[in-house]
Amino acid sequence: MSVKQISVFLENRPGCLNEMTKALADRNIDLRGLSLAETSDFGIVRLIVDDVLGTATVLKDSGFVASLTDVLAVEVPNVPGGLNKVLSILNAAGINIEYMYAILGNKKSESAYMIFRVNDNATASRALEKENVKIMNGADLSAL
């Protein structure tokens, strides 16, 4: 089970990120998760949103280059060692983590939530579910 992430390629210049977030804000798009990585020439913004196709359309119509990627949204126990438990399961299954980042959750939740880009979503999902780690879908994320 995976969710769609939107990756937006931005020129690395002042105001570009602001222009992108304004385009989303003007259309009332709520960001559930965001990660920003940069190089000297460009940045990659990774977004988790409720309406993936609508958001991708807004970005395209606003002149931004974006792509969709399947990622895993994982509920992580919000206790010391909670993330290590998830990482140990993935490691034991031979899964390589390309990148990961945290996403927003409910203030009352006893869990944290992470997005994982891995080399094999299906194997990672099976390994995590076997150890009773919850893999979240779009509806789960919307309910946070």
Total tally of structural domains belonging to the chain:
2
Exposed, middle or buried by CB within 10 Å (0-12, 13-18, 19+), for 14? exposed
Q: Is 79 within 8 Å of 17 (Cβ atoms)?
A: no
Q: Are residues 86 and 122 in the same domain?
A: yes
Q: Are residues 47 and 109 in the same domain?
A: no
Q: Residue 106: pLDDT band by 50, 70, 90 thresholds?
A: low
Q: What range does the domain containing 138 cover?
A: 71-142
Distance between CA 50 and CA 28 in Å, rounded?
11
Distance between CA 44 and CA 35 in Å, rounded?
8
Q: What mean pLDDT value characterizes the chain?
A: 90
Could you give phi then psi for residue 45, rounded to 5 degrees?
Answer: -100, 125
Residue 97 has pLDDT above 90, yes or no: yes
Mean pLDDT of the region 66-76: 94
Q: Domain with 106 in it: what CATH number?
A: 3.30.2130.10
Show the 3-state SS of 42-70.
Answer: EEEEEEEECCHHHHHHHHHHCCCEEEEEE
Buried b (16+ CB within 10 A) or exposed e, 20-34: beebbeeeebebbbb
Question: Which amino acid belongs to residue 38?
Answer: E
Mean pLDDT of the region 2-16: 92
In the prediction, which pLDDT does 30 show? 87
**Which of these three, 47, 69, 91, is where a domain ends?**
69
DSSP per-residue codes, 75-117: EEESSTTHHHHHHHHHHHTTPPEEEEEEE---TT-SEEEEEEE
Q: Are residues 103 and 126 in the same domain?
A: yes
